[in-house]
Structure 1
Amino acid sequence: MIVPPSPLNKRRKETTEAQRAKVITLYEVGLTYNEIEERTGVKRSTCWNIVKRDKDRQKPGSLTPYTASAPRSGRPEKLNKREKRNLISLAKRSRRMHLGVLTKSITTKVSMKTARKYLKQGGLHKRRAKRKPFLTKLHKLKLDEVDSEECLLPSFKSGRTSIMIWGSIQLGNKGPMVILPNGGLKGKDYVELIIEPALKPFYQSRYRATHEAIVMEDGAPPHKSKLASAARNKYNIQKMPWPAQSPDLNPIEKLWRIMKSRINKREPRVTTHEALSKALQEEWDRFVAEDFRKLIESIPKRVKMCLKNRGGSIPY
């Protein structure tokens, strides 16, 4: 047996803008609500509401009747204001928490799509964490390096084998590149393979030309060795003090990334030690002074950002 729907649950059909305009026009020419209902088929109570809305919302002096639909509140939100604040606060405290876990951590059951919408309203968006060198509190005290630290993914030195190279640049000039042997680099090797045959001639030639020069290099053990310090003192090579774990300020790091990217795109792929050495030298020879001029000129800006961020990372 088919049960007919209850009249109480029957949903009325919404009137169109044309019907509302006709109701308002008939009312303005003097017809009663009963007469309007007979002509339009719209119930008398609905006609009364249409006319009232026109009187309340029509702009002063306008001859056009107000026939727009009444504003609706829409579906109630799943989370109230307090629950939204809790969700956003939890996301800020646990930046690397998976969205699914974050969604299950709140009392009200919502979908991941809904949770993502509320987080977006709170200014939180899905991003991939940046890899930056891990900085201890001691590093930060020594390094006055703009990223929010909870959005960073610290990187640590790996033990993979690769070709080590050394190079030098100066504003308007490019020095030699040295391909170093495998097996690590000690202080003695740094002096014999880099300082004496490469760094000393380039430094002295630039000093004679500009009457000022200073070496910027990180705190790798060979750079800090007693033999290297003695060699720099012997040849009057000035070295900039360099805090630990800070590759971000050195402009030559950008050139290494460019070289790596170019070599990775080569076809056929570089697979042997000899081919990689040759490719590195070719890519180094491709660089001209204009390629690194902007990098060197950006150093004052990097230093200011470093000081402003009080030891945190900077976007370089």
Structure 2
Amino acid sequence: MKTKHAGGRPPKLSSLDSPKIEQVLKENRRLSLKNLALKCATVAPPVHFSTLRRFLKSEGYKRRLAHRKPLLGIRERRLRRRWHYKTRGLDWRSVIFTDEAQVCASNKGRIWVTCKDNERFLPDFLAPRVPKDVSVLVWGGIWHGGRTPLVRISTSSSAGKRKGFTGELYRHQILKPHLGPAFLRLNNDWRAYGGARVLEDGNRIHFTRFCRAEKGRFNIKGLFHPPNSPDLNCIEHAWAELKRRLNLIEPCPGTKDQLWEAAQRVWTEIPLQFINNLVLSMKKRRNTIRHNLVGPTTY
């Protein structure tokens, strides 16, 4: 009994062409499909880029948006390995995660509305354009079961050459009124288990002699944090949630004072369970570092 051949036109690319196309693909992953089709025509039958797209999809390949991650060189990877070693056995519920962030009033990109042709320029169908300089620099801290107030950083009295945020300002605006008392409260709860820790990034203003002296008065114990590693500080996701909620506010804040009031309100509205889940995710992040050979993570 003869088998019936499948009808239709045979495919232009077969499994025999797969190794050749993969070799061309691995030479440059950023080639567009049109340029990739032209380059693959030298080692395989020439095809349209849409045909090549279907063939790559059948082989498990897909065009994706490249994620932007900090560059991790040899030094950064070595320090991430050191962080993994130093945090073994650490209970992340005893850590205060702190950081600064720039909060901006967003223009929210394209906003689609449904209207007639003669209604396009009515106030209800217009999107306000916010100046780019409407932004505030804030500081915050989170831990399992709590958070610090959102602090607006003022650089008007800065003694630096560029009038930026300095260690003296960090000491007077952050350490003395907010971080120190928060550490004492958490450290009292974890005194029987080795005490609390404070995680700060590698910004040099955190380690000036003024800040070290102030930390000594509160007996603050720091936790090592590797450079170029925002994925190892869970407060970054709290900042992302804050900015996401700010973008939902209508109308968009038009001045710095309006933006600051909205940011304060939104910061207190973030659920405490969300913060607790971020802190508890640090154990999974540490395991990801081990399995990923101290490379970039999905966080």
Is the TM-score greater than 0.5?
Answer: yes
- Structure 1 gaps of 5+ residues are 1-55, 58-68, 146-156
Kindly indicate whether residue 89 of structure 2 is the aligned counterpart of residue 116 of structure 1. Answer: no
Instruction: Find the partner of 1:164 among 126, 129, 137.
Output: 137
Report the Cα distance in structure 1 between the residues aligned to 2:139 and 2:202, rounded to whole angstroms: 14
Q: Which residue matches 1:176? A: 149
Match of 2:250 among 252, 264, 267: 267
Structure 1 residue 297 corresponds to structure 2 residue 291: no
- Specify the alignment match of 2:177 in structure 1: 197
* Structure 2 counterpart of 1:250, one-letter code: N
1:139 to 76, 79, 82: 76
Structure 2 counterparts to residues 225-240 of structure 1, below 5 A: 225-240=208-223
> 1:190·1:223 contact (CA, 8 Å) conserved in 2?
yes
Counterparts of 1:192 and 1:93 in 2: how far apart (Å)? 53
For 1:118, what is the secondary structure of its paired residue?
A: helix
Tell me, what secondary structure is at the counterpart of 1:253?
helix
Letter in 2 for 1:163: V
Q: Taking structure 1 as the reference length, what is the TM-score of the superposition?
A: 0.69
AA in 2 matched with 1:170? W
Q: Which has the larger radius of gyration?
A: 1
User: For residues 223 and 86 of structure 1, what CA distance do their matches in structure 2 show?
Assistant: 53
Cα deviation for residue 137 of structure 1 reads 2.2
| Partner SS state of residue 72, structure 1 | coil
Partners of 1:143 and 1:311 within 8 A in 2: yes
What displacement does 1:240 show?
0.5
1:119 to 1:206, Cα distance in 2 relative to 1, 3 A: same
Q: How many matched pairs?
A: 237
Q: Contact (CA 8 Å) 1:165, 1:180: kept in 2 or not?
A: yes
**Could you say what secondary structure the match of 2:65 adopts?**
coil
Corresponding position of 2:120: none
Matched, 1:306 2:279: no
* Cα deviation digits, residues 128-152 of structure 1 (max 9, x gap): 111212222211121139xxxxxxx
Task: With the length of structure 2 as denominator, give the TM-score of the two structures.
Answer: 0.73
Deviation at 1:74, TM superposition (A): 4.4
In the alignment, is the contact (CA less than 8 A) between 1:139 and 1:311 conserved in 2?
A: no
Which residue identity does 1:208 align to in structure 2? N
Identity %: 30
Match for residue 185 of structure 1? Answer: 165
Question: What's the counterpart of residue 34 of structure 2?
Answer: 100
Q: 1:253-298 CA distances to partner (integer Å, 9 max, x unpaired)?
A: 1111111011112111112111111111111121342221111111
Distance 1:234 1:170 in 2: 21
AA in 2 matched with 1:203: F
> Residues 288 and 76 of structure 1: is their aligned pair in 2 closer, same or farther, counting only changes over 3 Å?
closer
Contact between 2:242 and 2:270, CA under 8 Å: does it hold in 1? Answer: no
**Helix, strand or coil at the partner of 2:175:** helix
Pick 1 or 2: higher relative contact order, CA cutoff 8 A, min separation 6.
2
SS at match of 1:248: helix
In the other structure, the counterpart of 2:259 is 276
What secondary structure sits across from 2:139 in the alignment? strand
8 Å contact kept, 2:144–2:276: yes
| Partners of 1:251 and 1:299 within 8 A in 2 | yes
SS of 2:62's partner is coil
> Deviations 1:22-56 (Å, cap 9, x if unpaired)?
xxxxxxxxxxxxxxxxxxxxxxxxxxxxxxxxxx3
Q: After TM superposition, list the pairs within 5 Å mapping 1:251-266 onto structure 2.
A: 251-266=234-249
Q: Cα RMSD between the aligned structures?
A: 2.2
Deviation at 1:73, TM superposition (A): 6.4
